[in-house]
Chains A and B, each alone.
Chain A
Amino acid sequence: MKFAIETNGLSKFYGDVRAVDSVNLRVKPGEIYGFLGLNGAGKTTTIRALLGMVRPSQGNVKVLDQAVGPNGRGPWAQVGHLVESPSAYAELTVRENLEIGRRLHGIKDSNATSRVLEQLSLVPYADRKAGTLSMGNLQRLGLARALLHQPDLLILDEPANGLDPAGVVEIRQLLEALAREKGVTIFMSSHILTEVDRLATRIGIIHRGRLIEELDTDKLEQLRAKRLAVQARNLDGARLALRRADYQSSLRESTIMIEDARALDHPDEVARILVMAGYSPTRLAVEQENLEDHFLRLTSATEVAKGTRSK
């Protein structure tokens, strides 16, 4: 199997609204793919299309090498999912809710329910009605249901929603362990970018229905790297002076970026070189962009570009 998830030109239109627009996803087996986007960007619609819950207006979806049909056909015995806010039958106990999941998945092993209760720390709540659970425990119940059949692929929409900080860490560790030890492919959307940053091996950013960027491990590492940001009145002159002193730099949005370890260790030396060359820096700072900064910069840049075009 080449890809656990593959979409080709996936689009979903609701009247004039393009909820998802020509999205091409390729998620390899074993990857943890973080799917990011603002509210209304098209994350949930994409996830629903992956699960055969909405019919694509254009394009097609393949999950675990099987075409996802418009009539609910798909490799669901190997796919666990959690879509949007967790839900459960309020009048049934946690254990009964899981029993329903177990039976609908055709799992013969009756210990499966006890296993996930333990895995998600739900044992103390097993015989409590789901309607009395806190949001966090309801989320755990949703995750437990997704893990009941020990799937090869997990499609999770906001898995850390409603969890307390300890719960967020616990779920992250669980997902990490599933990917590392059992080779489970995880496709997850989340608003908690720091968690995605820690967990994901690849990240896709969707904005206004379009997949505007994908970051692989190298790009993510690059993103996490520290750099010295320098601003000066004459940027070309300043870069020339730095090159003469053997500092490699790049220019991004009127800022000179230097990733050289010497510069990071001794920014004062860089300042001295620039002053001596007559290009005194107006700003000089060690920066480390994180996923959140990158995401916000990218989505706002897209907004600006769209605004410019529309003018």
Chain B
Amino acid sequence: MAYFPSALWTEILKARRSSVPLLALIGFTLAPLMDGLFMFIMKDPERAREMGLLSVKAQLAMSTAEWETFFSVLSQAVAIGGVIVLSIVTAWIFGREFSDRTAKDLLAVPTSREQIVAAKLVVVGLWTLLTSVWIYLVGLAIGYLVDIPGWTTQLAWQSFQDILAIAGLTLLLMTPVAFIASMGRGYLPPLGWAVLTIFFAQIIAATGWGDWFPWSVPALFSGVAGPRAELLGVHSYVIVISASLLGLVATFYWWLNADQTR
């Protein structure tokens, strides 16, 4: 793995210089901002009435303005929004090499293709971790500014762990996105894949089989359809890990063996 630090350095440089991961982060920051706005409205019924439609929508999403509700909504936003945003970032990290025709410069170099793919996946992982921490911190700051009642340190710590776990589950499901971006040689196929998985995740979760469908698991884990203990079992995590391993093996296999004509 002598060349791995170099591969990682190059991937981090590309991510730092590009606007895509930054824009995705900014877009994702809307989640705690919206969550905070709802809390603000819920806290002050008078103002909520003045705001009309928004107030009704806020009441549909949550019942009381307190930290537990705030964190719950934030977790759900990370679970659902995370698939979209993380798919965009993964599609960009892998697909751009083909769209920009730079893949050919990564193939006949002493740094092995395995190390290059691994470095890309590590950057996706780092971005996920940083974004999750960022969103949580922004959430804390907004909650503090809105002065939401019901704070406990234990709740805050538990919510942080939940957000990280949801982000981790979503991250595991990014290996198929990486594979499709590589095989499809661009951004569009993986984004199409992301839309499809979100669509089917909703449908399958609604039929009650979501615990068997990997792409429904992060949302079910977030509590979007009720307490996770009732909805998910060990098998749910096993199929997420299986889907991830399948995507991982497919991505590595493709980079090592497919004809690279771009």
Contact = CB atoms under 8 A, between A and B. Distances in A.
A178 B109 CA distance: 21
A48 interface: yes
A77 B110 CA distance: 5
Contacts of B13: 92, 96, 99-100
B46 interface: no
Interface string A41-54: 00000001001111
B112 A72 contact: yes
A237 interface: no
A254 B3 CA distance: 63
B16 to A, nearest CB: 10
A54 B18 CA distance: 30
Nearest to B2: A106
Interface residues of B, number: 31
A96 B9 CA distance: 11
Size category of the A interface is 20 to 34
Interface string B104-129: 11111111110010000000000000
B256 A72 contact: yes
Interface stretch (A82-90, A193-201, A260-268, A269-277): A82-90
B255 to A, nearest CB: 8
A308 interface: no
A76 B111 CA distance: 9
A103 interface: yes
A52 B17 contact: no
B259 A54 contact: yes
Contacts of A74: 108
Contact of A88 (B18, B102, B111): B102
A145 B104 CA distance: 12
A145 B19 CA distance: 25
Given A55-B257, A71-B256, A92-B14, A105 B110 contact: yes
Contacts of B261: 48, 53-54
Contacts of A85: 101
Contacts of B64: none
Interface string B220-262: 0000000000000000000000000000000000011101110
B7 interface: yes
Contacts of B10: 100, 103-104
A51 B107 contact: yes
Contacts of B100: 87, 89-90
Interface of B: 2-3, 6-7, 9-10, 13-14, 17-19, 100-102, 104-113, 116, 255-257, 259-261
Report, nearest first, the 10 A-B pairs whose CB atoms are least far apart: A103-B6, A87-B101, A51-B108, A71-B256, A53-B260, A54-B259, A104-B109, A72-B113, A104-B111, A100-B10
Interface of A: 48, 51-55, 70-72, 74, 76-77, 79, 81, 83-85, 87-92, 96, 99-101, 103-106, 145
